[in-house]
Amino acid sequence: MTRETKRRLFDAIACVFGLAASALLVVDAVASDRKILSAAHDAWQSECGSCHVAFPPRLLPASSWRTIMRGLDRHFGVDAGVDPDTAAAIGSFLEANAGRDGGRRADASALRITEARWFRHEHAGIAASTWARSDVGSAANCGACHRDAGRGDFGERGVRVPR
């Protein structure tokens, strides 16, 4: 084998390893993003998840979560109050994992995830009659269409819109 052939072979192998390393970085970034979306906290899961999907913290910015947590006694028409220590723990978790104001997944003006710009954009094609179906009930019932919403997975492959 000539020196030139060896160099080309080495370059090809280096290129393959470089591409493989890049692919692993992309997979790791996607996995990290999914971890953030489905961040876990026992009190958040049990308290918030007892009435609705425990919405992933990154879907709203910290400012929205602070406002929501301050008003649990009148949480969208329901008293969802919890003891102060639990409220503080959940609030800290939500803020630490919140979306960024102005980011793709956060909307500083929204207190309801369903009113956020990104939500309206993603669900623009859903007919009002779909939201009104008894098996859906409202836009806040993520699990009606997103089969893995309870795990924080809102990916396209898990969507089944009721007909």
3-state secondary structure of 75: strand
* pLDDT at res. 106: 53
Residue 23 has pLDDT above 90, yes or no: no
Inform me whether the pLDDT recorded for 55 exceeds 60.
yes
* Predicted pLDDT at 91: 95
Q: Per DSSP, which regions of 3-162 are E strands?
A: none
How many CB atoms within 10 Å of residue 4? 8
Question: Rounded to two decimals, what is the model's pTM?
Answer: 0.66
For the segment 136-163, what is each residue's pLDDT rounded down to a tens digit? 999 999 999 998 888 888 888 889 998 8
Please name the residue ranges forming H helices in the chain: 3-37, 42-48, 62-70, 84-96, 117-122, 128-132
Q: What is the pLDDT of residue 81?
A: 93
Looking at residue 29, its pLDDT comes to: 41
